Structure 1
Amino acid sequence: MTTVTLDLAECTLLLRAEDHVAVATRDLQSGTVLRAPDHAGGELTVTQSVPRGHKLAVRGVGVGQPVRKYGQSIGRATVAISPGDHVHTHNLGMDEVDQDYEFGTARVSPTAPVGPRPTFQGYRRADGRVGTRNYVAILTSVNCSASSAKLIADQFRGPVLEAFPHVDGVVALTHTSGCGMVPTSEGGQMLLRTLRGYASHPNVVGLLVLGLGCEMIQVDQVLDGLELSPDTLVEQLTIQETGGIRRTVRAGVDAIQKMLPEIDALRREECDVSELVLGLNCGGSDGYSGITANPALGHASDLLVAYGARSVLAETPEVYGAEHLLTRRAVAPEVGQRLLDRIAWWRDYAVAGGGTLDNNPSPGNKAGGLTTILEKSLGAVAKAGAAELSAVYHYAEPISSPGLGFMDTPGYDPVSVTGLVAGGANVVVFTTGRGSVLGCKPSPSIKVATNTEMYLRMAEDMDLNAGRIVDGTATLEQVGEEIFAKILAVASGETTVSEELDLGQDEFIPWQLGTVT
């Protein structure tokens, strides 16, 4: 058999000089010889086949010693690791060492490029906020009204809205809760905060709040004291008072039909880039996520922050192990401590559920080359760029501070994005290595592929390909600027692939906590 010889630098990426592992950019077969001038002897031999996106040991690591990637520990060796070994679940385990937390020691304020300020074409609401879409939302106070809401929304599918080209759709935002819980409990307040966030979202200009009538969370509780923009058209119905499902559906359809001409009369106008609220999320991650799409999105996020916009990272279980990098960027010790408090809450929450935070990564993440939550988190925080951390929000809390923020959400994509949209995100960018297909009405979702192979396989589901960074056909900064330009275009009305497929109604999933009786 002929021995294959390659240059290490041509088939792997070494992210930091001190790293113990490099990431394979192609499948490497056992026995392949890799020329490595900086390695003892000038070469190393692949001892086990290493799939694309997985880790190749370039240095030996003793049992129990930390394994480094991104210049940080991603776990400890469970057996001795030799140069050329495949490093994954069979020889790498969690590292539970306590981090040395610092506050505000690595603060960076991105500066805006010289030149004209970017703008986009948005819908200016009467309260001054800016929407990127015009939606009618049917918001349910309880699961008991979910089917009725969908029946109403279904009457506006297909060509029925062609006469109203400036209405983006009628969406039924249903959920599985709203009763059997105490409204004043943590879970009840979280659901109310989510519902109220969607009701007041700048992308919602027509609102129908629909309840059953006897539930714990009543329609009035969703609307009372809510600061809606004066130009938001609002109706409310309860099935019991209206006379049952059929009468409620007819009444709901009639109410929305009356809204449509007024909503369709609205027009986009030039708005400053600072009016954008960007939600940062990832799902179906792989070994390239922290190398391509996530840091490219981080570059775009830094540009938005430099112009005074708001950008928000989320998924608390997926910053675990990298939270020390974020506390160093906190604008004040109390901001960093608020993040650590949420991490501590999640540790207890995971134990109470019979697990640990290292239950994440998922099987798909591991198939893509990610081994521990430490490794996944170090790649995930790259979405936040380098900007200082200005705020930490509870789930679905209004995103009020300009700059980079963090929202406490689960790692489960639809639940996480639901919290971000409830907080006011009017655009979401979602990176994926395995091929996630998320939508998130009423906000558009831009999906960025981390690798070219997946992008080509799922091209009809992806908006951008960041895999070109590894391919060598684009730089990280170039892809970041493409993402920034795509955000402005989509905010101006350009349709994303998720919107072409009419995705995003079923992905409204509020985070559920607490006892249901």
Structure 2
Amino acid sequence: MQAHQEIKVSKGTARDVVKLNPDDNVVIALRDLSQGDQPIGVPAPLPGPVFRGHKIATAPIAAGESVIRYGQIIGQAKSDIAPGEHIHVQNLGMGDHQQDYAHASANVPLPEINMARTFLGFHRADGKVGTRNYIGILTTVNCSGSVARFIAEAATKSGLLDAYPNIDGVVPIVHGTGCGMSGKDEGYATLFRTLAGYAQHPNFAGILLIGLGCEVMQVADLVGGRPIRPDGALRYMTIQNEGGTRRTIERGLEELRGIAQLANQATRQPAPVSQITVGMQCGGSDGYSGITANPALGFASDLLVRHGGTTILSETSEIYGAEHLLTRRAETVEIGEKLIARVRWWEDYTERNGGEMDNNPSPGNKRGGLTTILEKSLGAVAKGGMAPLRDVYKFGEMIDKSGFVFMDSPGFDPCSVTGQVASGANLIVFTTGRGSVSGYQPTPCIKLATNSEMYARMADDMDLNCGDIVTDGVSIEAKGEELFEILIRVASGEKTKSEELGFGGVEFVPWQIGAVM
């Protein structure tokens, strides 16, 4: 599958369907079609209505035969399918599939772009550059979450930041874990990486770390006698040692004033776009996701990589069935094998927890036209463009290479984005067809609509309409270039729709792995 495929729309009296690859035995409806309609390319009238974004057979498909979209298998017919029939959950299932991983066989470096493109960012002592200048109140455990919020609320009500115009705000980072867990297993290590990543994030000018005192995830272990932040803008305390809620709030406000004096010294200065790291997400996907917004994001991803920047693809459970497209682009065989090792981990993880890898698409995805996880994954992978895969990281693991990389995560969007932010993403781009609403402080989130109808309906939440790739014939390349310019503007301080609406207070969701005890 080519990430930057040209969209060819069959034209009759209306723009009816699109065929994405010459080898496909389906077309995708571009509008709601009625019984008796016969779009060009479909050899028989439709026996029933077909909604926009859904699949229509273009040839007879026998029971057990593969259904092909994007030139790739998306499942097998559960019964005989006649030309013109609607293909969906009633007649398409996911059978056994074998992939030829062909590690590193299609590793083609993209030509570098040596233009001196810059954005205005906040330069940190460790060499990283932030796109925002927040102060974070980070919690080790759910027991300190309310106090963290109390401190943030008190800082706002008291006007503590009024004298510090360069600070974007105070962000309490609260969650529901940190205790009732093992202190030495995979779940603990994952939470530790996540919290440490947020503590070091370049969009935070300083951190106030608060624990209760008796939890498994100890403040002392996180701090560990090492300089988490080389700028020294880290303060920490526990509620038990401070003497309770009120005293902790009072002390917390004092510490915030000290952090604010340091944070306010930072001002936006030019930085190369190579300092931008974008976490790429899709949620509430539909049949248009793999046609419009995802490949447009893929083109923008390649542009950023060519400028020396970094893009992160994630959601391991939602690349399942399309992982072979990534292993072929791996820079080395070892990198491809690292990705497959994570896929195998997920197969074991779901099996031992009574789940299955094909628990996707969601009900909303299915209403939008997606039927199997294979189909959804093929569209999701398009977000990654065509750049070589430089490495594979664990959830929340610090990204230490530029270029296109993969970070292991669930497909649950807030959790996946939490991992990407912990890994260093200073921008998030989120594509949606059904209309996801979210934001991820301290990292701004740019939301892309896959179809024009949803964009018009939810324009207050969407930053860019990619539906015009279908409705107006805009090229994927042009839309990708438009998105690239938005990335630079948002990195320089332009607010996204989710920031204007105030999102970010509940979207920090660490990945809980292991027993709750």
TM over 0.5: yes
| CA displacement at 1:166 relative to structure 2 | 1.5
Counterpart mapping for 1:439-454 below 5 A? 439-454=439-454
Counterpart-to-counterpart distance in 1, 2:444 and 2:158:
21
Bigger drift between 348-357 and 442-451 goes to 348-357
Q: Which amino acid aligns with 1:415?
A: C
CA contact (8 A) 1:152 1:249 kept: yes
CA drift at 1:45: 0.8
Counterpart position of 2:121? 122
Q: Tell me if structure 2 keeps the 8 A contact 1:6–1:32.
A: no
Q: Does 1:16 align with 2:21?
A: yes
Matched, 1:366 2:366: yes
**Is the CA contact (8 Å cut-off) linking 1:13 and 1:22 kept in structure 2?**
yes
User: Contact 1:330–1:390 at 8 Å: present in 2 too?
Assistant: yes
Cα distance in 2 between the residues matched to 1:226 and 1:414: 29
User: For the residues of structure 2 that align with 1:8 and 1:80, how far apart are their CA atoms?
Assistant: 30
Unaligned runs of 5+ in 1: none
Give the letter for the 1:291 counterpart.
I
Deviates more, 1:103-112 or 1:494-503: 103-112
Q: After superposition, give the CA deviation of every residue in 1:282-328 in whole Å (9 maximum; x if it has no partner).
A: 11000000010000000000011111111110000000000011100
Q: Aligned residue for 2:342? A: 342
Matched, 1:431 2:431: yes
Taking structure 1 as reference, are residues 489 and 275 closer, same or farther at Cα in structure 2, changes over 3 Å only?
A: same
Q: Read off the aligned partner of 2:122 and give its amino acid letter.
A: Y
Q: Is the 8 A contact 1:205 1:232 kept in 2?
A: no
Q: Which residue of 2 aligns with 1:203?
A: 203
SS in 2 for 1:56: strand
Q: Which moved more, 1:441-450 or 1:163-172?
A: 163-172
Moved over 3 A (4+): 156-159, 225-229
Counterparts of 2:85 and 2:422, CA distance in 1 = 45
Q: Which residue identity is paired with 1:278? A: V
Q: Is the 8 A contact 1:196 1:226 kept in 2?
A: no
- Match of 2:310? 310
In structure 1, C-alpha distance between the alignment counterparts of 2:426 and 2:179, rounded to whole Å: 29
Residue of structure 1 in register with 2:154 after alignment: 155
CA contact (8 A) 2:199 2:229 kept: no
Aligned partner letter, 1:146: G
Report the alpha carbon displacement of residue 280 of structure 1 after superposing the two structures with TM.
0.7
1:61-210 → structure 2 map (5 Å cutoff)? 61-113=61-113, 116-157=115-156, 160=159, 161-210=161-210
CA distance in 2, matches of 1:34, 1:479: 27
1:207 deviates by 0.6
- Cα shift at 1:8: 8.8
Give the Cα–Cα distance (whole angstroms) in 1 for the partners of residues 396 and 474 of structure 2: 36
CA distance in 2, matches of 1:212, 1:233: 21
Contact 1:8 1:35 in 2 (8 A): no
Secondary structure in structure 2 of the residue aligned to 1:206: strand
**Aligned match of 1:25 in 9, 23, 30?**
30
- Among all aligned residue pairs of Structure 1 and Structure 2, give the percentage whose two residues are the same amino acid: 52
Unpaired stretches in structure 2, ≥5 consecutive residues? 1-9
Greater mean deviation of Cα atoms: 260-269 or 92-101? 260-269
1:161-310 aligned at under 5 Å gives the runs 161-224=161-224, 226-310=226-310
Does structure 1 conserve the Cα–Cα contact (< 8 Å) formed by 2:275 and 2:309?
Answer: yes
Describe the SS at the equivalent of 1:205: strand
Aligned pair in 2 of structure 1 residues 148, 392: CA closer, same or farther (>3 Å)?
same
Deviating more after overlay: 477-486 vs 373-382: 477-486
TM-score by length of 1: 0.95
Give, in angstroms, the shift of residue 34 of structure 1: 2.5
Partners of 2:37 and 2:46 within 8 A in 1:
yes
Superposition RMSD on alpha carbons, in Å?
1.6
Deviations 1:17-46 (A, max 9, x none): 11011111100001112343xx6xxx4211
Give SS of 1:430's match. strand
CA distance in 1, matches of 2:11, 2:198: 54
CA-CA distance at 1:137 after TM superposition: 0.6
Contact map agreement 1:35 1:44 (CA 8 A) in 2: no
SS at match of 2:311: strand
1:113-149 Cα offsets, whole Å, 9 max, x none, are: 4x73211001111121111111111111111101101
Query: Quick one: which amino acid aligns to residue 31 of structure 2?
Result: R
Report the Cα distance in structure 1 between the residues aligned to 2:391 and 2:234, rounded to whole angstroms: 32
Residue deviations 1:345-383 (CA, integer Å, cap 9, x gap) = 111111122121111110000011000000000000000
Deviation at 1:493, TM superposition (A): 0.6
Match in the other structure for 1:515: 515
The verdict on how the C-alpha distance between 1:162 and 1:287 changes in structure 2, with shifts beyond 3 A counting, is farther
2:33 and 2:163 map into 1 onto residues whose CA distance is: 56
Q: CA–CA distance in 2 between the matches of 1:389 and 1:225?
A: 35
Residue 391 of structure 1 aligns to a residue whose secondary structure is: strand
Structure 1 residues 247 and 489, CA, compared in 2 at 3 Å: closer, same or farther?
Answer: same
Greater mean alpha carbon deviation, residues 290-299 or residues 116-125: 116-125
Please give the secondary structure, in 1, of the residue aligned with 2:74: strand
